[in-house]
Amino acid sequence: MIAQKMFIVTGAAGNVGAALTTLLVSRGHRVAALDRTAAALTARFGAEAAVLPVAVADLSDPAVARAAVEQAATALGRIDGVAATVGTFAMAPTAESAPDLWERMLRINLFTVLNIFSAALPHLRSAGGGSLVAISAGAALRAAAGMAAYAASKSAVLRLVESMAEETKGDRVRVNAVLPGTIDTPQNRAAMPDADPSRWVTPAQVADVLAFLLSDASSGVTGAALGVPGLG
């Protein structure tokens, strides 16, 4: 029997975040589900008792992230792991991309991860260990045309994961990332109507890998970047 664990999932009302939250609950765990509005969380999870909805204004604000983690820790009793699934995407020719595009990519894709991990780390240390997992992207390894700002922000997530993993080994805290390819979401289907979504990775497939990295089955894995490109 798997021991019940207490997790935080950010972006829990999103496609991957919802898939992961549902998967963790199905395995007997409890989840503090963080997203921008309580309405979005209720629409996803209803009155599921194992899901604690936490509405957060902006996780790129360190104070907001700290308050959300404290609320989750108080309600759950402890924190065993965090999955950071908040993210955004935009494209622009590099030489024409405005500074605010770069700022937005870094603020949403990087700082939300940094802030929630930093806020949760003391709780994991005091609990004797745990797991922090972030979503990077395949583009973090090689950027396509028009993806410089997005790819740079996702590459920065990998550097954060690598450095924090080295810093927390002695505390038995593991820090890892997943690198999905294009995810089959309604938003991506609408943005790329001529593409073949059967070649994309599904939110459930990404959630499976995130759940593995949160679990004791990955107890020897830290500082890793696991690709989830799909098989299409």
Give the contacts of 22 (CB within 8 A, at least 6 positions apart). Answer: 45, 207
How does DSSP assign 43-110, residue by residue? HHHTT-TTEEEEE-S-TTSHHHHHHHHHHHHHHHSS--EEEE---------GGG--HHHHHHHIIIII
Task: Give residue limits of the domains in the chain.
Answer: 6-227
Residue with tokens 């020897």: 220
Q: In which order are the strands placed within the sheet that holds 225-228?
A: 51-55, 30-35, 6-10, 81-84, 130-135, 173-180, 225-228
Tens of pLDDT, residue by residue over 55-97, are: 999 999 999 999 999 999 999 999 999 999 999 999 899 999 9
Task: Measure the CA–CA gap between 207 and 204, rounded to whole angstroms.
Answer: 5
Q: Which fold has domain 6-227?
A: Rossmann fold (3.40.50)
Per-residue pLDDT tens for 154-212? 999 999 999 999 999 999 999 999 999 999 899 989 988 999 998 999 999 999 999 99
pLDDT higher than threshold 80 for residue 1: no
Cα–Cα distance for residue pair 155/134, rounded to 1 Å: 12
Cα 91 from chain centroid (whole Å): 21
Q: Is 215 exposed, middle or buried (0-12, 13-18, 19+ CB in 10 A)?
A: middle
Evaluate the CA torsion angle 162, 34, 181, 97 in order and state its sign: negative
Per-residue pLDDT reduced to its tens digit, 14-43: 999 999 999 999 999 999 999 999 999 999
pLDDT for 21 equals 98
Instruction: List, by residue number, the catalytic residues.
Output: 150
pLDDT for 3 equals 84
Q: What are the backbone angles phi and psi of residue 223, rounded to the nearest 5°?
A: 75, 20
Strand (E) or helix (H) holding 124: helix 112-126
Residue 232 pLDDT exceeds 90: no
